[in-house]
Amino acid sequence: MASFNPRERTIECKIVYYGPGRCGKTTNLDYIFRAFNKNATAEMVSINTKGDRTLYFDFLPIGVGKVRGCDVKIQLYTVPGQSKYASTRKMVLKGVDGIVFVADSLEVQRMANLLSLKDLAENLKEEQKSIFKVPLVVQYNKRDLESQGFPIMPVELMERELNTKLKVPHHLASAIRGMGVGATLKEILLLTLRDLQTELHWARQKAEP
């Protein structure tokens, strides 16, 4: 859950980019950090693992306004997608407020997407969270590869397999080109802050005599 600093009147939220290995999570954060560098309050931290990385940095969104009179600070994280880093993914998910699930559009990654989404649901359950209730956006990445002759899955198929039950917003993207990256980020920010507003409203009502 988001943390509140009463002295500084700030609320800190955590958004995690989740998905199979090499799906483009790191590329999303790399692009965000470069494109919105003036919003980043510190350098991006990279924890290198073999073939995958965990990244995070603090991000101050512009134009989202205040929540209950407080400034909002966002922490953006990625997780390593490879199966051997399961414990790292669980650790990074602790206290998550919003999630971007980055799905790989390449046909060879079809099963990897399904397994990663199942992994996300199970890890959220361990945190007493439901994948159906947490703010979530699906991004179908690597859509540009079709023009380069790579076999990619139709969006309709990916929606049917990954989003039929969830029914969450989705965005088409090419993270390496920056296409769809900003739209995905904006969507998850809005969903997360809306959810936070609701949480604070109910907490305030419960606290009133």
Q: What is the pLDDT of residues 19-64, one digit of tens each?
A: 999 999 989 988 988 888 777 666 677 766 555 555 555 555 544 5
* Bridge-based pairing state of the strands 45-49 and 98-104: unpaired
Which is more confidently placed, 125 or 63?
125
Residues 93-98 have a mean pLDDT of 94
Domain count, the chain: 1
pLDDT in tens, 146-178: 999 999 999 999 999 999 999 999 999 999 999
The CA distance from 172 to 141, in Å, is 6
Confidence class for position 91, pLDDT limits 50, 70, 90: confident
- Domain holding 135, by residue range, is 3-207
Which carries the bigger pLDDT value, residue 173 or residue 207?
Answer: 173
Q: State the pLDDT at residue 161.
A: 98
Residue 12 confidence (pLDDT) above 50: yes
Answer yes or no: pTM beyond 0.75. yes
Please say whether the beta carbons of 42 and 73 come within 8 A.
no
CATH number at residue 8: 3.40.50.300
Q: Indicate the helix (H) or strand (E) that contains 113.
A: helix 110-126
pLDDT of residue 199: 74
CA distance 163 to 180: 18
| 205 three-class SS | helix
**In this predicted structure, what is the pLDDT of residue 41?**
65
Mean of per-residue pLDDT scores for the chain: 86
pLDDT at 206 over 80: no
Mean pLDDT, range 119-144, rounded to an integer: 97
pLDDT band, very low/low/confident/very high, at 82 (cuts 50, 70, 90)? confident
Q: Please compute the mean of the pLDDT values over residues 99-113 and round it to a whole number.
A: 98
Model confidence at 200, pLDDT cuts 50, 70, 90, reads: low
Q: Is the pLDDT of residue 201 over 80?
A: no
Contacts by 107-114 with C-beta closer than 8 Å and gap 24+?
A: 107/151, 107/152, 107/153, 108/151, 109/20, 109/23, 110/153, 110/161, 112/20, 112/21, 112/23, 112/81, 113/19, 113/20, 113/23, 113/158, 113/161, 113/162, 114/161, 114/162
Residue 67 in this model has a pLDDT that exceeds 90: no
DSSP annotation of 187 reads H
* pLDDT > 60? residue 138: yes
